[in-house]
Amino acid sequence: MSKPTPAKKSKTATPLESISPPLSEAISDASSILKNFSSASHQKDECDHYGSLIACQLRGLSPQQRAIVMMEFNQIMFRARFGQYEEEGLNFANLS
């Protein structure tokens, strides 16, 4: 004997009116923030342009070269985040 399969409930959006007022207000606020954030235009700076330049250069490499260069770049960024390239202790002889 097989049991009848229960009917699947359709997933419909819950109207904000049926949610508690504080939660409804929080959802509305979050929605407004997300809309403003996504519509705000990002002014490209030198980092954006440099990133595009690096992307173009990486595309010109073989997959193996690209992987190695990306690994080396990530290591440089890691060292920079931990202060290796601070001006006070910067020694150009140790950069190579």
45 sits in which H/E element: none
Average pLDDT of 14-39?
Answer: 71
Pseudo-torsion of CA 18, 19, 21, 23, nearest 10°? -160
Cα atoms in the 13 Å half-sphere on the side-chain side of 77: 6
pLDDT tens for each residue of 62-75: 999 999 999 999 99
Domain ranges of the chain: 62-90
What's residue 34's pLDDT?
Answer: 76
Whole-prediction pTM:
0.49
